[in-house]
Amino acid sequence: DSIHVFAPATSANFICGYDILGLALEEPGDEVKLTRVNTPGVVIKKITGDEGLLPTDSKKNTVGACIEMVLRHLNREDLGIEIELNKKMPIGSGLGSSAASTIAGLFAINQLLGEPLTRQELLPFALKGEELACGYGHADNVAPSLLGGITLIKSYHPLEVINLPTPKELCCSIIFPHVEVPTRAARQILRTQIELKNAVHQWGNIAGLISGLFLEDYGLISRSLEDKLIEPIRSILIPEFDQMKEIAKELGALGFGISGSGPSVVAFTKGLDKAKEITEALQLHLKHKQIGSNGYSSRI
Ligand code: HSE
């Protein structure tokens, strides 16, 4: 008995929706293989592609810990599960790396057990995994990785997640500059209080963006892709942020900002060719500045 599952990378926040909006990419993503064995307990057999960065103790690893939680919840701790994790994207990049592994693991264990839980019921376990990974159980990576497309976290208590429509031609270019920005640290530097006039501006953008998705109005989407609250603080951690924004906008991006907690940046485009053009231009710019990067162009 074994199962092999892929879960996609995600880009959280969608520029203006900190902790409430996220979207799934076509690629990259992570793969998890689970095998049933006779000895009870959850063990990590192998991790590849993580450059030795992830814990191999199943209680400390988000995939192992989440699978253990599901087995405990279902009273199936008698089962023996071996985990193989193949990381196919950079860790700590702002692409929902921990979320993709967690979701692949949760989806796999649920399938292996004959689907006792719905996808929505798997989400609270995934939030625990995010809490383990970065100190806070944010849902804007795990929800789109599990449900696909664009998701809105309408509320956390109780957890209510809504799938939003994806305009057909909406694509994105994502650049991961090779610097380290752990999510935990990128959350700690944020202010906990905001000014009312900035809040008004921000919720106008969020409402405009969501209306734009329903109306497939790329102009409205573009005018709404702006972040008054988080970007001014976090962008300081990202090399060449302002320059990359200028290049992306000049090339016709609908919007540009930080992907999740960074250091990846994201440019949204109408059409995949435009996304590829922007990915190439931004990577070339970073190369001139002697900064290595990974680049992805993806449909949503
Ligand atoms: N919403 C989270 C944050 C996403 O911005 O910290 C982390 O990937």
Interval between CA 183 and ligand 1 midpoint (Å): 7
Report d(CA 223, CA 124) in Å as an integer: 34
Q: Is the pLDDT of residue 135 over 90?
A: no
Which two tokens mark 197? 């006039």
CA-nearest residue for atom 3, ligand 1, is 261
What confidence tens digit (pLDDT) does each residue in 42-57 have? 999 999 999 999 999 9
Residue-level pLDDT at 133: 87
Interval between CA 141 and ligand 1 midpoint (Å): 8
**Secondary structure letter of residue 7 according to DSSP:** E
Which two tokens mark 135? 């100190």
- Mutation probe of ligand 1 site: the residue of 11, 13, 97, 136 with most atoms within 8 A of C-beta: 13
153, containing H or E segment: strand 150-155
Binding residues: 90-100
Interval between CA 24 and ligand 1 midpoint (Å): 14
User: Cα angle vertex 227, ends 140, 273, to 5°?
Assistant: 75
- Provide the pLDDT confidence category of residue 267 given band limits of 50, 70 and 90: very high
Report d(CA 255, CA 217) in Å as an integer: 14
Interval between CA 216 and ligand 1 midpoint (Å): 26
Interval between CA 250 and ligand 1 midpoint (Å): 27
What confidence tens digit (pLDDT) does each residue in 169-218 have? 999 999 999 999 888 899 999 999 999 999 999 999 999 999 999 999 99
pTM of the entire predicted model: 0.95
Residue 32, helix vs strand vs coil: strand
Strand partners, 234: none
- Mutation probe of ligand 1 site: the residue of 136, 229, 261 with most atoms within 8 A of C-beta: 261
Residue-level pLDDT at 134: 86
259, containing H or E segment: none
Residue-level pLDDT at 92: 87
CA-nearest residue for atom 6, ligand 1, is 261
**Three-class HEC string of 43-103:** EEEEEECCCCCCCCCCCCCHHHHHHHHHHHHCCCCCCEEEEEEECCCCCCCCCCHHHHHHH
State which ligand 1 atom lies nearest to the alpha carbon of 10: 8
Q: How far apart are the first and last CA of the chain?
A: 33
State which ligand 1 atom lies nearest to the alpha carbon of 261: 5
Residue (of 205, 231, 209) closest to 150 by Cα position: 209
Strand partners, 171: 269, 299
Residue-level pLDDT at 204: 98
Q: Cβ(32)–Cβ(87) under 8 Å?
A: no
Residue 14, helix vs strand vs coil: coil
State which ligand 1 atom lies nearest to the alpha carbon of 259: 8
What confidence tens digit (pLDDT) does each residue in 76-93 have? 999 999 999 999 999 989
What's the one-letter identity of residue 102?
A: T
Active site residues: 130, 183
CA-nearest residue for atom 8, ligand 1, is 260
Report d(CA 102, CA 92) in Å as an integer: 14
Residue (of 249, 270, 154, 146) closest to 241 by Cα position: 249
What confidence tens digit (pLDDT) does each residue in 145-175 have? 999 999 999 999 999 999 999 999 999 999 9
Question: With pLDDT > 90 as the criterion, what percentage of the chain qualifies?
Answer: 94
Binding residues for ATP: 90-100
- Mean pLDDT of all residues in 10-25: 98
Pairing of the two strands 80-86 and 41-48: parallel
CA-nearest residue for atom 4, ligand 1, is 260
State which ligand 1 atom lies nearest to the alpha carbon of 234: 5
What residues does ligand 1 touch, defined as CB less than 6 Å away? 12-13, 18-19, 94, 96, 138, 140-141, 183, 186-187, 260-261
* Helices 97-112 & 62-73 angle (0-180, nearest 10): 30
Residue (of 18, 284, 287, 21) closest to 144 by Cα position: 21
Please state the ipTM of this predicted complex: 0.98
- Provide the pLDDT confidence category of residue 27 given band limits of 50, 70 and 90: confident
Interval between CA 266 and ligand 1 midpoint (Å): 13
* Helices 97-112 & 119-134 angle (0-180, nearest 10): 140
Q: Cβ(224)–Cβ(208) under 8 Å?
A: yes
Q: Is the pLDDT of residue 5 over 90?
A: yes
What's the one-letter identity of residue 119?
A: R
Mean pLDDT, all residues of the chain? 96
CA-nearest residue for atom 1, ligand 1, is 19
